[in-house]
């Protein structure tokens, strides 16, 4: 038993070191090269929520030719604008954007226990809804992945302020790469304009971060980017559970300086 624990600890330590070295490496190269490097590490999966960051990444994946599968969690409660953007993105970039849906049994179990919109009533209920509609589908999306690519950035919220370019996810035992971690929002908006990247029209209506329709509102002037997510909860670090910071140390580039392809 002790030997098994030692081996597990050694494995995690080695993977953390690998991720740390990778983060240093990625900090020196532009976006397209970051994506190609990610694809070299094994089976790579990018999970997109069709937000502005993820649309920039989808465009970069198509442009770079990196062998990265693109998947989205179609929770069944997305904004119509988000659902429409899935088709627009497929057509624009000629990619297979796979939709991963929650299991009907899991959704029904939540509804039976809490009601369709029971997530407003307690944090426990909200987490249960996210588990059924997002966490379990994410596990399916990443089932065969060696590398998980995301569009999260340090500037999105306090909870993401230390996001590294690469980290080891010990829960899923894979390398998680956040190639836009050091980008700022204005840089991404410039890329969207220059490359004419299709984005969700809700962004122009005050929704910088877009999730499920019942759980997302427009933000008010001066509010953080993700203030509109689960706004009825008091915890400023609220998350759905998809992106929980690991113990990996972040590797930051020069403050405010973003790499462009």
Binding-site residues for [4Fe-4S] cluster, in ranges, read 129-130, 212, 215
Q: What is the 3-state secondary structure (H, E, C) of the chain?
A: CHHHHHHHHHHHHHHHHHHHHHHHHHCCCCHHHHHHHHHHCCCEEEECCCCHHHHHHHHHHHHHCCCEEEEEECCCCECHHHHHHHHHHHHHHCCCEEEECCCHHHHHHHHHHHCCCHHHCCHHHHHHHHHHHHHHHHHHHCCCCCEEECCCCHHHCHHHCCCCCEEEECCCCEEEECCCCCCCHHHHHHHHHHHCCCCCHHHHHCCCCCCEHHHECCCCCCCCCCCCECCCCCCCCCCCCCCCCCCCCCCCCCCCCCCCC
> Of these residues, 240, 248, 251, 258, which one is catalytic?
240
Specify binding-site residues.
Answer: 129-130, 212, 215
148: three-class secondary structure by DSSP? strand
166: three-class secondary structure by DSSP? strand
Question: Residue 57: enclosing H or E segment and its boundaries?
Answer: helix 52-64
Annotation marks residue 240 as catalytic = yes
Active site residue ranges: 240
């Amino acid at each position: 038993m002790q030997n098994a624990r030692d081996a597990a600890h050694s494995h995690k330590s080695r993977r953390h070191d690998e991720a740390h070295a990778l983060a240093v490496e990625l900090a020196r190269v532009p976006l397209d090269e970051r994506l190609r490097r990610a694809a070299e590490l094994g089976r790579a999966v990018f999970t997109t929520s069709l937000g502005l960051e993820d649309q920039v990444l989808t465009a970069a994946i198509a442009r770079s030719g990196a062998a990265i599968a693109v998947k989205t969690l179609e929770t069944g409660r997305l904004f119509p604008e988000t659902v429409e953007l899935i088709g627009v993105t497929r057509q624009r970039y000629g990619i297979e954007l796979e939709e991963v849906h929650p299991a009907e049994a899991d959704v029904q179990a939540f509804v039976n226990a809490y009601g369709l919109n029971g997530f407003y009533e307690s944090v426990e209920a909200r987490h249960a809804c996210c588990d059924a509609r997002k966490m379990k589908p994410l596990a399916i999306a990443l089932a065969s992945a060696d590398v998980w690519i995301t569009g999260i950035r340090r500037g999105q919220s306090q909870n993401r302020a230390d996001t590294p370019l690469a980290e080891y996810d010990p829960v899923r035992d894979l390398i998680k790469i956040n190639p836009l971690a050091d980008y700022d929002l204005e840089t991404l908006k410039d890329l969207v304009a220059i490359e004419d990247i299709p984005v969700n029209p809700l962004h122009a209506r005050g929704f910088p971060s877009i999730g499920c329709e019942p759980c997302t509102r427009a933000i008010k002037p001066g509010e953080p980017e993700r203030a509109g997510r689960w706004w009825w909860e008091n915890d400023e670090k609220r998350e759905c559970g998809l992106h929980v910071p690991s113990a990996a140390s972040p590797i930051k580039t020069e403050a405010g300086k973003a790499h462009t392809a």
